[in-house]
Amino acid sequence: MKRLNNKKIYYITTGASKAKFAAKIIKEIISEGAQVYTIPTPAGLDFIDIKELKKIKGNKVKTDWNKKIKLPKEDAILIAPCTLNTLNSIVAGLAGNYPLCLIASAIGRQIPIFIAPAMNINLWKHPLVQENIQKLESWGCRIIWPKLTKNKVTMIDIEKILDTLYFNFTRINFLEKKIDNKTLLGKLNKYRRQYLKYFKDIGRFLKKEELNLPTAGCMSIKVPEGVLITSSGSDLSKDFKKDDISLITSFYEKENRIEWIGDKRPSSESPLHCMSNTKNNQTLLHIHCPKMTYNNKLNKFTSRRYLRYGTFNIGYQISKLLKKSNFCIMKYHGEVIVGKDINEIKDILNKINKLI
């Protein structure tokens, strides 16, 4: 399953030490089916081994307006790492070098742009940087937030950067099959009538307490026939309808596959719900709450490393954490809460909210 099949990706790297990961980033993007065009900034040339990058099959390197290498129209631009100078230049609309010219043009054409900042903490705290980040986001650029501590700002893990890029094109990271079974469809419709109010109630709660990003997160309820779950792309807090609920009837971890019934594909995090639901905890909620995800006060609840989204491995790892507590944080990703019902879920979130 290749998530970037036939996509053309411009990869821009700038003058920061994290450019040392360029080869690793390029190789993984290519392994997902994309053609990569690496375009370093002038300062970025000092931080990469350009000869090594040119040897990577499926990657072409272009450093200036030279017409020997023609670029196709891009499907997305990834800038990682992105320095202070490049970030501010993008917002100013400057096109003084080849990569900046490409970025300015892409913004004008509304091409997806992913930016992973890398700079020291004093530069990060500069008022203009924070103002420019907001501008970029308002223009539709995706800022992939760095690791933030009291004394340091570091580009986020490359796995997180790449997952963010993939998710723009392919939400589902597993094989899935919609089945046709009138008996199970009847059961699903019965459960939709029974549980719709619970899904909507959680949505209202998350919105009121400002605990979730828009159109992000998912919820499941264990039933005898499988896992009742929100559909991919649905929004619990806005216009959530009964056909936004699907039923996972079976899953096969070794084959990375699930079978389901309903009107819409189940959540992109279905493997997490399949692996983590237990007999004692009927309900599972996954949300993206930045004030929890990046809060050092909650480190004891956080996984040691970033876990790649939409896989059975993430479900396996989180199920181990949930044996210790009904609440956990997936590093740089989001929160998972389990309980016997939605009231217990809300109680847990209220208690965690008081800690921050």
Instruction: Write down all domains in the chain, each with its CATH number in brackets.
Output: 8-169 (3.40.50.1950), 176-353 (3.40.225.10)
Q: Which amino acid is at 226?
A: G
Give the model confidence (pLDDT) of 210-267 as tens digits.
998 766 689 999 999 999 999 998 999 888 999 999 999 999 999 999 999 999 999 9
Give the model confidence (pLDDT) of 323-352 as tens digits.
889 999 999 999 999 999 999 999 999 999
Give the model confidence (pLDDT) of 134-186 as tens digits.
999 999 999 999 988 777 789 999 999 999 999 999 989 999 999 999 999 99
Q: Is the pLDDT of residue 278 over 70?
A: no
Closest by CA position to 260, among listed 280, 232, 286, 238: 232
What's the pLDDT band for 305 if we cut at 50, 70, 90? very high
Average pLDDT score, the chain: 94
CA distance 267 to 244: 10
Contact call for residues 311 and 174 (beta carbons, < 8 A):
yes
Structure tokens at 298: 């909650």
Q: Which pLDDT value is given to residue 213?
A: 77
- 210 sits in the region (left: phi over 0; alpha: psi -120 to 50; else beta) called left
**Segment 68-79 mean pLDDT:** 94
Q: Which pLDDT value is given to residue 129?
A: 95
What's the pLDDT band for 277 if we cut at 50, 70, 90? low
CA distance 225 to 245: 14
Share of the chain above pLDDT 70, in %: 98
Contact call for residues 214 and 238 (beta carbons, < 8 A):
yes
**Segment 36-43 mean pLDDT:** 97
Q: Which of 41-45, 185-189, 262-266, 280-284 is the least confident region?
A: 280-284
